[in-house]
Amino acid sequence: MKEYDEVVIGSGVAGMSVAYGLKKAGKNVLIIEENLWGGTCPNRGCDPKKILLNSVEARKRIEQLLGKGFSEVPTVDWQELQAFKRSFTDPVSKNRQKELAAADIDYLAGTARFINENTIIVGEEKISAEHFILATGQRPSILPIDGNEFLQTSTDFLSLSELPQDIIFIGAGYIAFELAMIAHASGSNVTIVHHNQRPLKEFDEQLVKQLVKQMEAAGIRFVFDFESQRIIQEGTHYSLQSNDQELQADAIFCATGRQPNVERLDLEKAKVETTKHGVVVNDYLQTSNPMIFACGDIISRTEPKLTPVATFEGNYVANYVLGNTKEKISYPSIPTIVFTSPKLAQVGVTKKQLTGQEEVVEIDMTNWFTYHRVNEPLAKSQMIYDKAGYLIGASVLSEQADDLINDLNLLISQHTKKEELEQWIMGYPTVASDLSYLLK
């Protein structure tokens, strides 16, 4: 049996953050991965998705300037775009292994299973450790409907060699919205179906409605109150059916959520409690077995499942295990962004969380020079202040919302008021130079 100080299961950003933090402190560390080294984000998640989203952003900028210097919108060459994406994703797994070797961190490929409370087995090899850290992430869920063998996932979409002409996305969360934008910008006819009338339910309803309206104007079709019941293959096409409707497509992608990768770990043998949402942890990211921790997308917490959050949690676990902190984990304000066109972003307190003591200020920025100079059709923001006048929450709908939301997050985190902000000089014209006009 091999023995280590610390064993990390999963090589995504959460697992890597833990492993490097523990190794830097002199611990003997092993990290285990059963699939692609580096995890979801760089291989089949946010990184390749953002590369493909370049097509959306580039086409949109030119589309907005038709008749203002440009006469036509370029078409997207899907094969070239995918080749560009692969130039980033193909080296990831091998590079991560090289980086681990250079850091003198042991690494092992295979599926880890617990055989008791302090021992795992990988293949035929038994391994014990002072602590185990679970960081195996999540995977796309598949709807339990008839014909679901015909459903594809976000992983499949990001690897498409050919783009289908007619595509349906089931679900109305950020993954469906973003992939729909990519497919539409690249030439597909796209339909988003959802079982109720409330897409992107974590975001402000009015801003979401305006986003949907913009996407519909671009040519993306939305079908709400559609309860998917079955899929039938009809030659090379597919029919998605509810009780009273039927939609046709060349490919159907399921984007109805993700589920934690816990089944193959045999966590019951380690006395680790789980729910359908993931591994149960306390405020120290410790499981019901005190020698086992968990971080990243696998854990059952309400914080957004985002790459920076997983990194934050991984760093916290390393520091807690090392005794560098005994404080409960405390999350800062977390920006969330839907990379559509326009983009939708929010941070801090939302309108759903209002207690009646706050003030909400809605601002139309469409005619501000920052947006007017690139002919953006719509730019809106929503600022939320506490009773002392401090900014505590913000939502933004614009093509530049991803940049602006980070600036607003800094103002929230630093408790910056307008009079302080006016003492700063920002580069102009940028979203940062507009900040003083956004604060009341």
Q: 177: annotated binding-site residue?
A: yes
Q: 50: annotated binding-site residue?
A: yes
**CA neighbours within 13 Å on the CB side: how many for 29?**
27
d(CA 8, CA 169): 35
d(CA 165, CA 163): 6
Q: Show the DSSP H helices in 150-279 as ranges.
A: 154-158, 174-185, 205-218
Q: DSSP states of 248-271 as a string?
A: EESEEEE-S-EEES-GGG-GGGGT
Q: 175: annotated binding-site residue?
A: yes
Task: Return the exposure string of 149-171: e unless at least 16 CB atoms fall within 10 Å of the residue's CB, then b.
Answer: ebbbbbeebbebeebbebbbbbb
Six-digit token string for 32: 């285990």
Q: 173: annotated binding-site residue?
A: yes
Six-digit token string for 200: 């992107």
d(CA 21, CA 131): 14
For β-strands 106-109 and 166-170, DSSP reports them as: unpaired
Six-digit token string for 302: 């309400």
Q: 69: annotated binding-site residue?
A: no
Q: 297: annotated binding-site residue?
A: yes
Give CB contacts under 8 A, 24+ apart, made by 357-360.
357/386, 357/387, 358/384, 358/385, 358/386, 358/387, 358/392, 358/393, 359/384, 359/385, 359/387, 359/440, 360/384
288 — phi, psi (to 5°)? -65, -15
Region of 153 (left: φ > 0; alpha: ψ -120 to 50; beta: rest) is beta
d(CA 158, CA 412): 35
Binding-site residue positions? 50, 171-178, 257, 297
Binding-site residue positions for FAD? 50, 297
Binding-site residue positions for NAD(+)? 171-178, 257
